[in-house]
Amino acid sequence: MTQQTLSRPPAEPAKGTTATLRGRALLSAVNGQNLSLIGALAVVLILFGTLNDNYLSWSNIQVIGEAVTITGLLAVVQTVIIICGGLDISVGSQAGLASVVSAMAFTSAGSNSLVGMAAAVGVGIVIGVLNGLIIVYGRVNATIATLAGLAAYKGVAQLVSGGSAQGYVLNNDVFIFLSRGKVAGLPVMVWILALVAVAVHVLLRYTDIGRNIYAIGGNATAARLAGININKYLISVYAMIGVVAAVAGILLTARTGSGQPTSGSEGLELKAITAAALGGCVLKGGKGGVGGTLLAVTLLGALENGLTVEGINAFWQSVAQGMLLVIAVVIQQRRSRERAVGLPD
């Protein structure tokens, strides 16, 4: 009897078990944070769509998509470094410097777009690695190091450009394609954001590198004891940020037609951090994802566009962004059940 029991093949799963598991996987992917963002986005779309008939038109939706591309790129890589337990406040200045370099190199090389883009990416790599080295080997807090970078890279961009826009790139087919081209009815810029987002999502969710990044942000001591080279990961992530910030700078150049030292890149760091925090990234690290960040970027873009369409003072957009960042952090603190600073338990 015992022998027969041991050799009996395992029972087949009950009907509906597979469907149930798939349903649970879907619910875990679309978590409460993302559902909240979807709900908020729906409210914004309905509100401004009611106030203005053209708000939900296909042409305006494309405008929103193009407008959030640069912020979206920076928010995606900001998500990675926040998950890793770090922060990069200098991403906007990096994009501005890359924009200037791309336009100046393009002009110097006789309107060669590849030279301009390669120069921008090269500068991005150098900046990213420099940030990582300062943080890792200089033992400087990431917030302080990148805050210094915010000022320094903006200053460098203004010095090399004389504080004014550089070059004109919309006489080149590549930059024209980046600025105005469409693929399958969607702007090229939107496709670039989608490709970068998918690549980063796959990296985080389906590779050992991604699992190690979550481990570093979740518990750096445990990650180090597990044999993960934290220094190498941090420098690599900051280098990746530099590359993506350079791509954002190139798109900024294509969109505006020239290299912009500050115009267009001012405040991008706040938008990127706000989007990552709204998207579910815990600022202490270890939690977050690209999907939530993209939803938050879309929400911010839809809100900003709606305020602009209704003619509301642009200064209120900054107020709204600041309030949303505070709300996102407050929600995180409540969920973590941490004691409020200066208040009794």
pLDDT in tens, 105-144: 999 998 899 999 999 999 999 999 999 999 999 999 999 9
26 within a domain of the structure (yes/no): no
Q: Would you tell me how many other CB atoms lie within 10 Å of the CB of residue 309? A: 15
18 within a domain of the structure (yes/no): no
Q: Which domain holds residue 64?
A: 58-303
Q: What is the pLDDT of residue 248?
A: 96
Half-sphere exposure of 270 (CA within 13 A, CB side): 13
45 within a domain of the structure (yes/no): no
Domains contained in the chain, number: 1
* Alpha carbons 70 and 60: distance in angstroms, whole number: 17
pTM to 2 decimal places: 0.86
Written as six digits, the tokens of 175 are 């930059």
342 within a domain of the structure (yes/no): no
Residue the block writes with tokens 């090229």: 188
- Per residue in 66-97, pLDDT tens? 999 999 999 999 999 999 999 999 999 999 99
186 within a domain of the structure (yes/no): yes
- What sign has the CA pseudo-torsion 334, 42, 201, 234? negative
* CATH code, 70: 1.10.3470
At 9, the pLDDT band (50, 70, 90 cuts) reads very low
Radius of gyration of the chain (CA): 23
242 within a domain of the structure (yes/no): yes
167 within a domain of the structure (yes/no): yes
Average pLDDT, integer, range 292-311: 90
Which has the minimum average pLDDT: 36-40, 53-57, 74-78?
A: 36-40
CA-to-CA separations, 74 to 27, 77, 216, 246, 332, in angstroms, rounded? 27, 5, 21, 10, 21
pLDDT at 28 over 60: no
Cα pseudo-dihedral 241, 75, 114, 155, rounded to 10: -70
CA-closest candidate to residue 250, choices 238, 240, 241, 260: 260
6 within a domain of the structure (yes/no): no
* Alpha carbons 178 and 254: distance in angstroms, whole number: 6
Q: What is the pLDDT of residue 123?
A: 96
Average pLDDT, integer, range 302-321: 82
